[in-house]
Structures are given as C-alpha cells and as structure tokens.
C-alpha cells in the first residue's frame, strides 16, 4: 500500500526511502523537489534517476487534496479554498494578502466537536483530524496556485479535541529549514481555551504566537455565548497563558468579540482590564484585538456600534492595555 509522503518528517522519510535511493544526497534532492519546488509528481524529479523515481512512485504518493472550489474576495484581498481529500471529507483554507505578508489560515480538522451558540462557520459535525500531510499540502497547493511564498501561518487547532501529536509533528515540519522553514514568530496557534494543550506546548521551545478567542469577561457570560459544556475557567486559562509567554517570550493575542448589549458595556471593559491586570497580562507581549462582526447577517449576535467601541477602547488604553480594532469578514 502506498504511503502519503507528506505525512513523514525528514527523519521518517530518510528511514522509509533509504532502500529506494542509491546515495544519501538523493534525500536532499527529493526534499527540495517536495517542499521548495512543490512538484506534484515524482516524474518531475528531473535530477533523480528514472529507476529511483519509479521506486518512489510505486511506494509513495505526493498529493491527497484537490481544489474543489476557489472564491476570490477582491476588497479583502483574500482567496477561500475548498479542498477535497482522498482520505474523505472537505475543508477550507483562507489565503490573504496583509500588507507585505502572504498569510494562510489552515484547517486542522473537519467539522467541530463543539455546539456553540456563537459560531461564524456553517456548523458541521466533527468528522476527524486532518493528517499531518493534509495540513502541509494546503500550504504547498496554495503557494502553487498563487505563485506566492507563504510568510505567515495561522492554525486553528480545535477546542476540546486537539490532536496534540499531529500539531507538534506539523510544527517541526513548518519550522524546519529543510522543509518549510517558517519562523515561529510568524506562526499563530488559534483556539478558544485548552489548558492542557497550552501546558503541553510549553514543554517545546517553538516560540510560536498563541491566539485565543474571548467572548466575555467572566465564565457565566462566556457560557451564554459559546457551548454550555465549556469546561475551562477564564482566570485559570489566563494564568496558564501568562506562564506560556513568560517561558517562551512569545506573543499572546486575545481576540475579544465585542457584541452589542452582551459584553460591550463600560462595566465589561473595566472587568476585562481588572482581569488582565490580576493575571499579569498587561505587558508588551499581550495584544487585544476587538473583533467587529461586519455584515454577519446569519446570527442573532450583532457587533457594537462605533461609540460603544470607542468607550471600550478608551478604558482599556487608560489601563495601559495594547488594543486595536479588527474587522472580521465571515467568509466561511
């Protein structure tokens, strides 16, 4: 049975193909074709002998994804890709041009295990985690399609159900200069809260940015907006986030979804300020994004008006909190 070659890191690849190559330097050439030249067929490995190419083709395959659909958003300068996987299921990626950055938002699973009241996606039942190769292939396919080198990555790692082993293996491949070679400072791992995941991540020195979505200033408020089964307490989560940035020296991004008449009052702004201060998260390594839900018509939740947002920002800045406003375009 053929093996998906993108599932393998460099060491695993070397072990698997050592019987198929005549010299060790062939491994370097093969990796170059896979990750830098991003070819989709072993036939295109031009500096590899025909016999080795045939052996590789008989034992491995390079692609599992097909671009099923692609939609351009000219104003936002984004492209949404829908991929179909030969392993089953469809999922999306978003490529965007942000200033001088070529940014990709990667899926790491199909569907979601949560049943949140607030969700910007058309809800799809959780099916499975994506394989390591399927996540990497999103990058390679988008780079080929756009003819642009990805510089920045955001990976949604899921909420309760996180395939930690897969994510760690993925980060090794993204950070490796022999594979994708993207700096940890340009990688964002995104979730709501998962204390166990953050604790495990701290044991590695990846120095990647961490992003959490926040929908309120206390546990009761959050449970009204997302799943009632939400098991993580906000203060416990913030405390572990503080430990993460202290150990790694990395950046914590808190995306606060500011919602009309729900979590946008002056009292909420003061509560958030006190919470951040109490948890030691008022510093240069912590950034707050107030997320505005532009044109999101399929939800009972609405974004706050400009005056309310201005008051909210004023209170946060008075408390020396690094805050900015970002528009969230719901293209899923």
User: CB neighbours (10 Å) of residue 177?
Assistant: 7
Which segment of 47-61, 116-130, 152-166, 312-326 scores lowest on mean pLDDT? 116-130
Residues 301, 279: Cα–Cα separation, whole Å: 28
Instruction: Name which residue leads in pLDDT, 156 or 322.
Output: 322
Quote the DSSP letter at residue 260. Answer: T
Looking at 25, 40, 61, the residue that finishes a domain is: 61
Please list, residue by residue across 89-107, b when 16 or more beta carbons sit within 10 angstroms of its beta carbon and e when fewer do: ebbbbbbbeeeeebbbbbb
Output the domain CATH number for residue 54. Answer: 1.10.150.530
Asked, for residue 41, whether it belongs to a domain, the answer is yes
Within this chain, do residues 208 and 289 fall inside the same structural domain, yes or no? yes
**What distances in angstroms separate CA 178 from CA 35, 80, 143, one per listed residue?**
8, 28, 17
Residues 290, 118: Cα–Cα separation, whole Å: 16
pLDDT at residue 186 in the model: 93
What lies within 8 Å, CB to CB, of 174 at 6+ separation is 136, 153, 180, 182, 187
Highest mean pLDDT among 147-156, 158-167, 190-199, 290-299: 147-156
C-beta of residue 139 within 8 angstroms of C-beta of residue 34: no
Within this chain, do residues 50 and 143 fall inside the same structural domain, yes or no? no
C-beta of residue 290 within 8 angstroms of C-beta of residue 309: yes
Within this chain, do residues 130 and 9 fall inside the same structural domain, yes or no? no
pLDDT at residue 294 in the model: 66
Asked, for residue 332, whether it belongs to a domain, the answer is no
Find, among 220, 198, 218, 216, the residue nearest to 208 by Cα.
198
Q: What average pLDDT score do residues 279-285 get?
A: 90
**pLDDT tens per residue, range 224-240:** 777 666 667 888 889 98
pLDDT at residue 66 in the model: 96
What residues form DSSP beta bridges with 110?
A: 128
Give me the residue label for tokens 């808190």: 254
Find, among 127, 8, 139, the residue nearest to 61 by Cα.
8
Asked, for residue 169, whether it belongs to a domain, the answer is yes
Asked, for residue 30, whether it belongs to a domain, the answer is yes
* Mean pLDDT across the chain: 86
C-beta of residue 97 within 8 angstroms of C-beta of residue 77: yes
Within this chain, do residues 225 and 299 fall inside the same structural domain, yes or no? yes
Q: What percent of the chain has pLDDT over 90?
A: 50
273, pLDDT greater than 60: yes
Looking at 40, 61, 82, the residue that finishes a domain is: 61
Looking at 19, 36, 61, the residue that finishes a domain is: 61
Give me the residue label for tokens 């049975």: 1
Within this chain, do residues 75 and 147 fall inside the same structural domain, yes or no? yes
Within this chain, do residues 13 and 139 fall inside the same structural domain, yes or no? no
Domain of residue 260, residue span: 68-327
Straight-line distance from the first to the last Cα atom of the chain, in angstroms, rounded to the nearest whole number: 35
Within this chain, do residues 142 and 220 fall inside the same structural domain, yes or no? yes
Output the domain CATH number for residue 232. Answer: 3.20.20.70
Within this chain, do residues 125 and 272 fall inside the same structural domain, yes or no? yes
Within this chain, do residues 14 and 33 fall inside the same structural domain, yes or no? yes
User: CB neighbours (10 Å) of residue 213?
Assistant: 20
Highest mean pLDDT among 71-75, 103-107, 257-261, 308-312: 308-312
Q: What average pLDDT score do residues 259-280 get?
A: 94
Within this chain, do residues 23 and 111 fall inside the same structural domain, yes or no? no
Within this chain, do residues 18 and 74 fall inside the same structural domain, yes or no? no
Domain count, the chain: 2
Within this chain, do residues 81 and 144 fall inside the same structural domain, yes or no? yes
Residues 315, 158: Cα–Cα separation, whole Å: 32
What lies within 8 Å, CB to CB, of 40 at 6+ separation is 62, 63, 144
């Amino acid at each position: 049975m053929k093996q998906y070659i993108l599932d393998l890191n460099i060491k695993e690849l070397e072990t698997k193909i050592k019987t198929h190559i005549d010299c060790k330097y062939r491994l370097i050439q093969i990796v170059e074709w896979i990750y830098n030249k991003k070819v989709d067929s072993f036939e295109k490995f031009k500096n590899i002998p025909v016999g080795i190419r045939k052996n590789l083709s008989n034992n491995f395959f390079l692609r599992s994804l097909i671009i099923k659909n692609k939609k351009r958003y000219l104003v936002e300068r984004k492209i949404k890709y829908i991929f179909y996987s030969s392993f089953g299921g469809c999922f999306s990626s978003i490529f965007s041009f942000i200033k001088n950055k070529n940014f990709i938002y990667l899926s790491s699973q199909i569907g979601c295990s949560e049943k949140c009241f607030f969700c910007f996606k058309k809800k799809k039942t959780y099916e499975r985690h994506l394989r390591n190769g399927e996540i990497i292939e999103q990058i390679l396919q988008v780079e080929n399609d756009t003819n642009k080198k990805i510089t920045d990555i955001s990976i949604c790692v899921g909420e309760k159900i996180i395939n930690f082993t897969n994510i760690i293996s993925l980060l090794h491949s993204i950070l490796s200069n022999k594979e994708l070679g993207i700096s940890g400072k340009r990688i964002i791992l995104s979730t709501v809260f998962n204390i166990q995941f953050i604790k495990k991540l701290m044991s590695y020195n990846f120095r990647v940015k961490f992003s959490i979505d926040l929908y309120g200033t206390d546990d009761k408020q959050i449970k009204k907006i997302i799943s009632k089964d939400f098991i993580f307490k906000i203060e416990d989560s913030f405390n572990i986030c503080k430990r993460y940035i202290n150990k790694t020296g990395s950046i914590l991004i808190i995306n606060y979804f500011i919602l009309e008449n729900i979590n946008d009052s002056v009292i909420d702004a003061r509560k958030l300020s006190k919470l951040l201060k109490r948890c030691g998260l008022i510093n240069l390594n912590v950034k707050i994004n107030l997320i505005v839900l532009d044109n999101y018509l399929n939800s009972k939740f609405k974004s706050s008006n400009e005056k309310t947002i201005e008051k909210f920002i004023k209170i946060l800045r008075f408390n020396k909190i690094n805050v900015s406003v970002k528009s969230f375009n719901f293209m899923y």
